[in-house]
Structure 1
Amino acid sequence: MTYREAESLKRLKSEIDRAAPRRSTASDGWIGDAAHASRTSDHNPWLKDASGVGVVRARDFTHDPAGGLDCHKLALFLADALGGHPALRAGAYIIWNRRIISAKRLSEGWRPYTGSNPHTKHLHLSASTTAGEAGYDSTLTWGWPPKAPKVARNTELRIDEISSRWDRPVASLKADIDRSSAAADVILLTEVYDRRAALARIVPAGWTLHQVTGSDLAEVAILTRDAEWVALHYSANVVGPDPGPGNRVVCGLAVLEHTNGHRFMVSISHMPSGVESNWAGKRARIYRRAVKGIEKLHTDRFFTYAPNAEAAFADWNLNAHRRWVRAYFKSAVRRMTFPRAAIVPKGGTHAGGRLIDFFLRRGWRVNRWVILPATDGSDHRAIRVHGQIGDAK
């Protein structure tokens, strides 16, 4: 049987090789071996072109960042072109690092991939099933490597986290939001609950509310200043059960893009209480499960949006002034770190001087963290955090 490689894949390989001539090709491949031939695989030449020649419409590319090919970046690049480039239309899909994204189910984004090969050493690309120039044999340039976007060296980012209280009147919540809107770029809210409908009516001019209004998913919300930030994504996600009244821990997560071009991923959660005094108990085990859920959510969204920086805020209900609490987060959340000791405020955000409202971050260089004065809107005191994203020191 005669067979050949799809022209679109040959062109992509040519562009990749030109950009990274010394890259490893240890896991590269296009025509299937005996193992592939025994099962349904796009590495087999099942498709026939107009001349009756078998066409292989799949190719693997070796992950070799040191040699010039980072398959994480290639995956994002190809995913952005799904449905656009002729070779990435009907029947096309990408598998990389235990995730799959396809033209057919593009609206679902990256999904878990549970095949026997996790595709951590190479990226798999299957081109369109459409024949000819309109599909797998397209000779249209791929544009690899993509041109780096021109962004400012430094983007200022000011965040206020307001751990509200569900039983306080809307007027007090409005006063807290109005105060923060004069100084912050992003406002994070917890314990919104039944005030969700009213919240939409008290958003300051020039700000956008990001909120899921169904059930207790409305517990958290995020506001962004329109002049500087646009939300590429917002979702409210259940990250674990809660033994308290809410029955589940909700994490609101937004991916924001600044006019400078920098992307920032931020989340806000309200964690279970009553765990600090019995860290070995059932409630604490549930708490630790929710922390892992937050980290997994950040990891999943990072894979899709590749933000320059990220932060996870919460009413953590653990006192960050305690050394064992900081040690726990250092070991439990590997992708983000607790702020350096020099900027941690001395006071507390809750009774007894407990600093239970804080954040973990990556890529966001924080230089100022203050506790705001008490208000009628909550039994917590809000926090204000200033920092920069980018290359400037």
Structure 2
Amino acid sequence: MTTFKTTSIPDAGAQPRQFLEYLFQAAVTRALPLENTARYLPKPPTPESGGRTIVLGAGKAGGSMAHAVEALWPADAPLEGLVVTRYHHTPPRPAGLKQRIEVVEAAHPVPDAAGLAAAQRILAMTQGLTKNDLVLCLISGGGSALLTLPAEGLSLEEKQRINKALLGSGANIAEMNCVRKHLSRIKGGRLAAACAPARVVTLTISDVPGDDPSIIASGPTLPDASSCAEAVAILQRYGIDVPGDIMSLLEQGALETPKPGDPIFNGHEVHLIATPQQSLEAAAEAVRAAGLTAHILSDEIEGESREVGKVHAALARAVALRGQPFQKPCVILSGGETTVTIKPLPPGVAKGRGGRGAEFCMGLALALQGQPGVYALAADTDGIDGTEDNAGAYVAPDTLQRALAAGMKIDAYLDRNDAYGYFDALGDLVITGPTHTNVNDFRAILII
């Protein structure tokens, strides 16, 4: 189990685990809001216009994004607002920084009453806005659950049940957010509609493959190209039940979202201030600074976590054994958002714990079969792998051997999705605590 804060580059050969943790730290640092916000801030409304600046937002990086705006906004310019983030994800307030934006916390990944109350307050703050006002929206991954305001006729309890079913279904993030948009009164561009006629500037940190701003946090201020019909097809594909009257509204198109070309979006600006690719490039720079070569596969890798782990293992073995397609020593980097499908368990079998990063590591370790010279780390850049307290896990050539010596068979842990239990027993969880940003999965494989 590791909590880390490395200031110098560890030796990859002598300290492979510390070296991989250093790369993760480099990736996270690149995505911190204070590093990326200044260039995208709009000018405040002029005093002569009488316009206000209201900050609204949601996401795992919400607290740190709010602090960044407060630190960078002109001291003499009015600023107010409300941002919701995940429980325990509000960073300590920097000394001397005056609070002008309220930050509240709510549940993720399953929404709760606190998130509902925050969404209601945020929507209420849009009332009475004029064309002279500026709305600065701070959006990051996790906002779909944190900014929850169910469609009319849908209760919070029903929304929670549907959300849980989506999370365990194997649906990818675009599919989940398509459903979430059409079952919401605030997502899928509806927050932007509520802000009209004010000017809206959205600053967003991407946690989705492809960096489509309309998918990040279900795009509360972005036009939505998806449809009610697509939401229905997704629900049917994964066998997810919704109340009959809500399904009827979806089938009739009565819960449709604002679309591209709608004039409510005229004059709006959207800026991606941090992306998964930028974080992978920061890690690659750290690799090269250590004298090794770096290879970024992609920042858009999706699929079942354990299967993605097996594919990465096949590539790592090819490098280690044949020097193809890359020469060692090197580091292979990738990002994206994999999924974990939770399967029903036999009676009496305890439900496992874990997240995408640690399950990737189990699939990787199983396929590597103790390949000498291959080490890996996979973690979520928000510092929380799924709903656990770890960011991810670490794999070494002796992972399977140490587990077997302790009486642990990896297949049994995979069967019950218990990646947390597996790596916890080995002391190979990577624990950082909340990082106050979120550019999704980070994976690094060191081959020496």
* TM-score of the superposed pair, with normalisation by structure 1: 0.27
Could you say which structure has the greater relative contact order, defined with CA pairs below 8 angstroms and 6 or more residues apart? 2
Q: Higher strand proportion, which one?
A: 1
Question: In terms of Rg, which structure is larger?
Answer: 1
Q: Higher helix proportion, which one?
A: 2
* TM-score of the superposed pair, with normalisation by structure 2: 0.24
